[in-house]
Amino acid sequence: MENHDHIEYGTFEATLERSRQLERDIQENPSKHKMLTGDRPTGRLHVGHLFGSLQNRVRLHKLGVPTYIVIADYQVLTDRDTFENIAENVLQLTIDYIAAGIDPHDGKTFIFPHSHVPELNQLLLPFLTLVTNAELDRNPTVKEEISAAGLKRINAGMYTYPVHQAADILFCKGTVVPVGKDQLPHLELTRTIARRFNSRFAKDKAVFPEPQPLLSEAPIILGLDGSQKMSKSRNNAIMLSATEDETAKLIRKAKTDSERVITYDPENRPEVANLLMLAALSTGRNPEEIAAEIGDGGGGQLKKMVTEAINEHLKPLRARRKELEQDLDYVRSVLRAGVEAARAEAIKTLEEVREVMNMGL
């Protein structure tokens, strides 16, 4: 049995290289893979989510990769007291996914909150026996979240949610998990659990594949203050649901600098560079070229350009979003269908799991 107290994280470079190979393999064989992604329902999505992760998922989805999207409602309870808005946030997230291009009617795409899939949750119990307290205690992302939330009393869900996340990923035998860097420890834990489960209970024929992280190579989008990551709680975000006027107003107030000539220089001019990047991502052009075009037009012209680019890029998404907001019954029906399909799959996996653990009847 492998050492139970030591999870190998490996180097970031090695992970990135594997991720690039995986990307090539997906391009060639999209239907061989199964994509599993997830979000916590803490609010609507913003432009940073769209460029950082959502567009990447939509791209894989459109290649024909079967797509499972877990809305991790239980995870919300790990670092905050409020649960009043969970139901509303689940609906708004689902609207954002569909509006961004996820098609829940292609027969291989399912969106569901994990709280509605009991058999998925039951996998948590055997999985918890495959990791040690020390391993959970050492998870760098969990440590970071504890300090970011300033938690004094830490509930046990905070330490164990990465194991629950392994259940999210393994219940459907997901093979590809598009993630940002912060989720890599959870992915490594998931791989470790899959390996330990197979080597302990299923020596002859593995039950779980080892899922692989697919790193997003999109640049991190800063907020309109230009100094930190875009995030709703930092009040520096452009929500996908914002109107064109709201978007214009937010960008008008964005921080720039006092140099009139616009240049793309992320090191020395992070605020201007971030605005140029937003325009670049919205138009598919490169930021240097846009900077050269604005030249000595200054911050005013830059902001006008960014506003038009973002509003234009988001137009179809926002139109679809509006329609969906008028039809919440439809959105709920998408979730119910997702739950039903996820449960069918979780039931099958749990049966296999019980069988190999000598718990079949």
Contact footprint for ligand TRP (CB under 6 A): 36-40, 70, 72, 75, 165, 168-169, 177, 179, 183
Return the number of the residue (165 or 311) whose C-beta is nearest ligand TRP: 165
CB 279, min distance to ligand TRP, A: 27
Sequential DSSP letters for 148-204: HTT-SSPPHHHHHHHHHHHHHHHTTT--EEEE-GGGHHHHHHHHHHHHHHHHHH-SS
CB 321, min distance to ligand TRP, A: 21
Q: Are 19 and 212 in contact (CB under 8 A)?
A: yes
Per this entry, what is the length of the chain?
A: 361
Q: CA 174, 175, 176, 177 torsion: positive or negative? A: positive
Q: Cα–Cα distances in Å, from 349 out to 80, 93, 167, 342?
A: 31, 27, 11, 11
**φ, ψ (nearest 5 deg) of residue 112:** -160, 150
CB 237, min distance to ligand TRP, A: 16
Return the number of the residue (126 or 211) whose C-beta is nearest ligand TRP: 211
Question: Cα(77)–Cα(83) distance, rounded to whole angstroms?
Answer: 7
Distance of CA 319 to the CA centre of its chain: 23
Return the number of the residue (35 or 302) whose C-beta is nearest ligand TRP: 35
CB 38, min distance to ligand TRP, A: 3
CB 169, min distance to ligand TRP, A: 5
Return the number of the residue (42 or 274) whose C-beta is nearest ligand TRP: 42
CB 34, min distance to ligand TRP, A: 12
Token representation of residue 156: 């046990």
Return the number of the residue (79 or 271) whose C-beta is nearest ligand TRP: 79
Return the number of the residue (98 or 163) whose C-beta is nearest ligand TRP: 163
Return the number of the residue (39 or 271) whose C-beta is nearest ligand TRP: 39
Return the number of the residue (157 or 300) whose C-beta is nearest ligand TRP: 157
Rg (CA), the chain: 22
Can you count the helices (H) and strands (E) in the chain? Answer: 16, 5
Token representation of residue 310: 């973002």
Question: Cα(180)–Cα(160) distance, rounded to whole angstroms?
Answer: 20
**H or E element in which residue 36 lies:** strand 35-39
CB 176, min distance to ligand TRP, A: 10
CB 135, min distance to ligand TRP, A: 17
- Closest-CB residue for ligand TRP? 38
Distance of CA 100 to the CA centre of its chain: 14
